[in-house]
Structure 1
Amino acid sequence: MSDNIHDFEDLIRDSQFAWFTTVRADGQPQPTPVWFIWDGATFVIYSQPQAQKVRNLRANPKVALSFAGDDEGEEYLVVMGHAAIDAQAPAPKDNAAYMAKYSAGIANIDMTPDSFNATFSLAIRITPMRVRGE
């Protein structure tokens, strides 16, 4: 077991998605699969501005990102942190790291960088506070 996020750089780099968990006003956890990038200090995801996860994090910024590295559950990472809307982050289509990772995925969901940018226009930055994983 490790509590150092940098021990999991390979898992983070190789993961195509993570489960982003926010908490609804009624206390119900709401996990959502998300695409993300990691800059070595924070994660960035993009969302539709009206999404439930956005309403949730505005009320309660405590969130978790969960990664599974294998089907047996022997390699995993849970990142607990704080999420905030990041008005300074580049738009998805202007985020070179994001587009390098997800341009094929964007095409696979029948979107263009421009249509993805228009739909998923809200950047959310997650700052890790604690981690646990194997």
Structure 2
Amino acid sequence: MMTAQIPDEFKDLLERPIYATIATIMPSGQPQLTEVWCNYDGEHVLINTARKRQKEKNLSARPMVTLMLRDPDNPYRWMEIRGTIELTEEGAQDHIDELARKYANVSKYYGGWAPAEAEGKETRVTGIITPTKVNAFNPPVRLHLIKK
């Protein structure tokens, strides 16, 4: 399957500290949705989780994913990324620290965002998402009609 491109005018949704919603498939076939931190390397979207969490179990069994990002400044502007995912432990600790700097403005995930005593008690994994389909929407919006 061909890799889909992220439209230039929507890359900011991956560059800014915007929470993404990731959809995975449970063993029963029911979707599971989780809020995640993510970043973009120019080709792949990267997320981070820990081994033995439901999301990791779902992705290990069924390496398909849908990620949804919505612009917090304009809720009518969004991007959906469908793709395949590869999980790797290599560099995953550095990656979660990078995400902690982006989203929480702390230098380290453990001891900065998560309790320091949790470090070493779980195995981090980076999920490397290869986009296969991207849907993005940015209609002309009459901002005065949006209820605040």
- Residues 67 and 78, structure 1, Cα contact 8 Å, conserved in 2: yes
**Matched ranges for 1:87-126 at <5 A:** 87-88=89-90, 90-92=91-93, 94-95=94-95, 97-104=98-105, 106=109, 109-112=113-116, 115=118, 118-119=121-122, 121-126=124-129
Mapped partners of 1:18, 1:60: distance in 2: 20
| Unmatched runs of 5 consecutive residues or more in structure 2 | 138-148
Report matched runs for 1:53-64 at 5 Å. 53-64=55-66
Task: Measure, in 2, the Cα distance between the counterparts of 1:66 and 1:49.
Answer: 22
Aligned partner letter, 1:68 = R
Deviation at 1:131, TM superposition (A): 0.4
Instruction: Give the structure-1-normalised TM-score.
Output: 0.79
Greater RCO structure (CA 8 Å; 6+ sep)? 1
Q: What per-residue deviation string (whole Å, max 9, x for no partner) do you get for residues 16-56 of structure 1?
A: 32101101121100010011121111122221201111111
| Compared CA separation, residues 72 and 117, structure 1 to 2 (3 A) | farther
Return the TM-score normalized by structure 2.
Answer: 0.72
Structure 1 unmatched ranges of 5 or more:
none
Q: Which region of structure 1 is more displaced relative to structure 2, 45-54 or 8-17? A: 8-17
**Aligned residues: CA RMSD:** 2.6
* Residue 61 of structure 1, CA deviation: 1.1
Structure with the greater alpha carbon radius of gyration: 2
Greater helix share, 1 or 2?
A: 1
How many residue pairs match? The answer is 129
